[in-house]
Chain A
Amino acid sequence: MPNPSPARVHDFTVVSNEPIADGIFKLVVSAPACAAALKPGQFVNIAVPGNAMSLLRVPLSFAAADAQAGTIEIWYAVVGDGTERLSHMAAGDTSTLLGPGGRGWGAPAGCARALLVAGGIGVPPVLCLARELAAAGVAVDVVFGAATAAKLVGEAEARVLGAGEVRVCTDDGTAGHHGFVTDPARELLAANAYDYVATCGPAPMMERVAGLAKEAGVFCEASLERMMSCGFGACNTCNVQTVDGMKGACMCGPVFDASKVVVF
């Protein structure tokens, strides 16, 4: 039989849960076994307690996992009933999460320089990757975008981790470059020799970034989002159309080789 998901159900306790931007929260939970097992780009599937009308778990990427402290840092946008109720969880509250889920980032061996491009709430898993690459001595350039300055996250963290180029963009010009992340991404790809491009954000953005990487001849991975029922390979709802057929985002992704993705 194929391997079952490595995900297990873990108890967690909320350490903190604070807004960090307009409609975006930073949740820190204590879940030592999962924190030690998580790799950048994987996800956790959170059960939000309460008398819910929405019953499924909320699958979320993470911005950092600290094996020593046993904590997982999750940045999430409030977009529906589940994340709305999650935003009301307070320090000391408990529930369960299922993780680690899925396949994370896979930078090519020997990667010397990487370009990381993220938009909106796609920033946290890319930031997590940036930290790992920088720690491994890979030169990292980042381009982060958001609809508007009030929703922009991750710039300060990118500078702290030692990224070379840190470019930010907003759709309305309230911070950084007035326009899409694809403009600086194109410039950087033309100016530098990269071994790896990683991207997460709105589907049209990822598709364009993948197109730019392909033109530049650079290996590119994209972290995709799908509606997920279970998160461990049983429901067949989080499918991604690839050149090799339908693949579940929870087991074969969420990170995919962008050149194999048919529908982002």
Chain B
Amino acid sequence: MANVNMAVDFGGVKMKNPINTAAGTFGYGWQFSELMDVSALGAITTKGCAAEPWEGNPAPRMTELRGGMMNSVGLQNPGVRAFAEQSGPWLADLAEKGTRVICQVAGHSTEEYVRALELFDELCPWAAGFEINVSCPNIAAGGAACGSTPEGAAEVMRACRKVTKRPLFVKMAPVRVPEIAVALEEAGADGLTIINSIQGMAIDVHTRRSRLCKPKGGLSGPLCHPIAVRMVWEAVQVVDIPICGVGGVMTGEDAAEFILAGACCVAVGMASFAEPDASVRILHELEAWAESQGVSDINELIGAFEC
């Protein structure tokens, strides 16, 4: 370790290394506290919370697919107040240890995002920044719509921008990424998280029913990786704000692809379910790769893809 500087600046969130966790795949962090050294990571992103508790969808919420999985959790969460009360002390301690905590913000409308963010800003002084989830595909009431047009995404961003001075990121749906990225940058986003899960369907042909509680679900895992790398690379061409690459990272080389495509940090998702400490292994593998590239600073490799 330490032959390569791994520290990166993700839109004002100064991370000691580029490894982050994808919201919804890492709980509130403490679920992993006995299974790995969470403080080894550059940052964690906590599962989305809304102003009020959401019960989420009925079962079945998950189905496994070749090379990945599909979920329809529906953003079950206890609400920001309960989150801050139950998980805040542990997360404050994690922040003390130098791992940045980014809290994901959920809502069904601009007003709900603003209300949730107001609560986060008030109740979570230890949070380094916030990630607005305008792209969760599971919310019938309009979450998908907010993030699926440049105007809708920018409206949420502009309203949220007035609420906090801390860094604000947007978790982007894998649709119209370049144009929405530009709109979000103009609306004041400090960075972008690309991509959220990809909408898919899985039908049980014997029962003729969905394998989830709803017809559609969100695909994640390695099957999404090449698509996510492409979308990060396309966004990098059109915005100057930093990007966190997300999608099917299972190894250090998968993370390195995002870095080369132009992401300044990388979030580990599904891998943490199968192998709780995957993110730490991926960090070490990424570091070894950076060293093998003969650089002294990982920042030299951000966007170093040669087409």
Residues of B within 8 A of A238 (CB): 59, 61-62
A5 contacts B31, C-beta separation under 8 Å = yes
CB contact between A236 and one of B61, B63, B66, B276 (< 8 Å): that residue: B61
- Confirm or deny: A148 has a beta carbon within 8 angstroms of a beta carbon on chain B: no
Which of A26-34, A49-57, A174-182 touches B? A49-57
Q: If the complex has contacts A47-B275, A234-B31, A237-B71, are A246 and B76 also in contact, measured as CB distance less than 8 A?
A: yes
Pairs A–B under 8 Å by Cβ, sample size 30: A1-B28, A1-B30, A4-B35, A5-B34, A9-B35, A54-B66, A55-B222, A55-B250, A55-B270, A55-B271, A55-B274, A80-B64, A226-B59, A226-B60, A227-B60, A228-B62, A229-B71, A229-B270, A233-B31, A234-B31, A235-B62, A235-B73, A235-B273, A236-B24, A236-B56, A236-B73, A237-B62, A238-B61, A239-B57, A240-B59
Q: Does B188 contact A (CB under 8 A)?
A: no
A residues 208-264 in Cβ contact with B at 8 Å = 226-230, 232-241, 245-246, 263
**Smallest Cβ distance from B221 to chain A, in angstroms?**
6
The answer for the CA separation of A226 and B272 in the assembled complex, in Å, is 19
Residue in B28, B62, B89 whose CB lies within 8 Å of A229: B62
From B31, B56, B57, B62, give the contact of A4 (CB < 8 A). Answer: B31
The answer, yes or no, to whether B86 is at the interface (CB within 8 Å) is yes
Total contacting residues, chain B, CB less than 8 A: 44
Tell me if A35 counts as interface (CB < 8 A to partner B). no
Q: B67's contact among A2, A55, A80, A98, by CB below 8 Å, is which?
A: A55
Q: Are A9 and B68 in contact (CB under 8 A)?
A: no
Q: Which residue of A lies closest to B56 (CB)?
A: A246
Contact A232 B274 (CB under 8 A): no
Complex CA distance for A82 and B24, rounded to whole angstroms: 24
Residue from A4, A228, A236, A246 within 8 A of B47 (CB atoms):
A236
**B305 close to A (CB within 8 Å):** no
Residues of B within 8 A of A246 (CB): 55-56, 76
Interface string of B16-58 (1 = CB under 8 A from A): 0000000011111011111100000000000100000001111
Q: Which residues of A pack against B, CB within 8 Å?
A: 1-2, 4-9, 47, 53-57, 80, 82, 98, 226-230, 232-241, 245-246, 263
B64 near A56 (CB under 8 angstroms)? yes
Nearest residue (CB) in A for B271 is: A55
Asked if B5 CB lies within 8 Å of chain A CBs, one says: no
**Complex CA distance for A236 and B57, rounded to whole angstroms:** 10
Contact of B58 among A6, A228, A263 (CB under 8 A): A263
Judging by beta carbons under 8 Å apart, are A234 and B26 in contact?
yes
A246 to B71, CA, bound (A): 16
Q: How far is the CA of A232 from the CA of B60 in the complex (A)?
A: 17
Contact of A227 among B30, B61, B87 (CB under 8 A): B61
Q: Closest Cβ of chain B: how far from A83's Cβ, in Å?
A: 12
Residue in chain A with minimal CB distance to B72: A237
**A4 to B33 alpha-carbon distance, docked (Å):** 7
Residues of chain A lying within 8 A (CB to CB) of residue B221: 55
Would you call B35 and A239 a contact (CB within 8 A)?
Answer: no
Separation in Å of the B276 CB from the closest CB of chain A? 7
- Give the docked Cα–Cα distance between A5 and B36 (Å): 13
Bound-complex Cα distance A4 to B71 (A): 23
| Contact, CB under 8 Å: A239 / B30 | no
* A238 and B57 alpha carbons, distance in the complex (Å): 11
B90 within 8 A of A: yes
Known contacts A4-B31, A4-B33, A234-B25, A57 near B274 by CB under 8 Å? yes
CB atoms of A237 and B55 under 8 A apart: no
Nearest A-chain residue to B223, judged by Cβ: A53
**Chain B residues whose C-beta falls within 8 Å of the C-beta of A234 in the assembled complex:** 25-27, 31-32, 272-273
Contacts of B27 in A (CB 8 A): 233-235
Choice from B47, B59, B90 contacting A1 with Cβ under 8 Å? B90
Complex Cα spacing A237 to B56, Å: 10
Q: Which of A2, A47, A230, A241 has the most chain B CB atoms inside 10 A of its CB?
A: A230
A78 nearest CB across to chain B (Å): 15
Which A residues lie within 8 Å of B34 (CB)? 4-6, 8
Partner of B274, one of A7, A47, A245: A47
